Amino acid sequence: MNMAVLDYHHQEKWPNGFGQLQSPINLLPATPADPSTLKIETSWRVTQEIDDQVTIRLTGTGRTRIDQDQWQLMQAHIHVPAEHQITNQHAAELHFVHQSAIGALCVVAVLLPLGPDNVVLEQILDHFAAHSTRSVAFSLDQLIPQQGTVYRYLGSLTTPPLTEGVAWYVIDQTAVTIGTQQLHRYQQLFADNHRHIQARYQRPVLRSVFTKTAN
């Protein structure tokens, strides 16, 4: 579905036909689980920055290992305000969409609190060109914190076609922030683009200590 047609003020009109595994959700309560690690095996290199009229979409390449599973980075984008909730809503949420060798989907999400300006986000904003696609060359590796808390559950894409069966890996942390002025710059470009909280339907959510391991 063309992202440009999405109307976040009338989400009830989005094409659906989905089941009981929709995202985003409130991540609490969550069940304690074993520690989890994420390793960026080959750098997340961005090659294109796209104005899709809903958000800034970044396409590129990179290989990621989450615990024992390997994934390929397909694209990344930004939601303001954050879509997933814990005790309250964060200022923004980064989504790094991955695919496995057999086509399974995993989204690594990073919840961003307000804080100091972020160098990579500044680069993204500075390279943005409205109504166009630009060739770029920079890394997103530093948008993943060294540590935090990760919430894992089975959900869906948060934009149509709202495909279910997506493995979510949502990182709550304080090291990677978005500055107040950066948030304002983004909001000048795009209206709020967060999907409403969806029913959980007794789905389990696992919570564990998160660590980013060395390349």
The distance between the two most distant Cα atoms of the chain, rounded to a whole number of Å, is 44
User: Residue 17 has what pLDDT?
Assistant: 64
Cβ neighbors of 3 (< 8 A, separation 6 or more) are 52, 53, 54, 55, 57, 159
- Tell me the two tokens of residue 70: 């390997």
Give the chain's radius of gyration (CA, Å): 16
Domains of the chain in start order, with CATH, are: 22-212 (3.10.200.10)
Helices and strands counted in the chain (H then E): 2, 10
pLDDT value of residue 2: 42
Q: Give residue 1's pLDDT band: very low, low, confident or very high (50, 70, 90).
A: very low
In the chain, pLDDT over 70 holds for what percent of residues? 97
**28: pLDDT confidence band, cut at 50, 70 and 90?**
very high
Task: Kindly state the tokens that stand for 123.
Answer: 């680069």
Q: Residue 134 and residue 132: Cα distance in Å, rounded?
A: 6
pLDDT in tens, 93-138: 999 999 999 999 999 999 999 999 999 999 999 999 999 999 999 9
Q: Determine contact, residues 58/44, Cβ cutoff 8 Å.
A: no
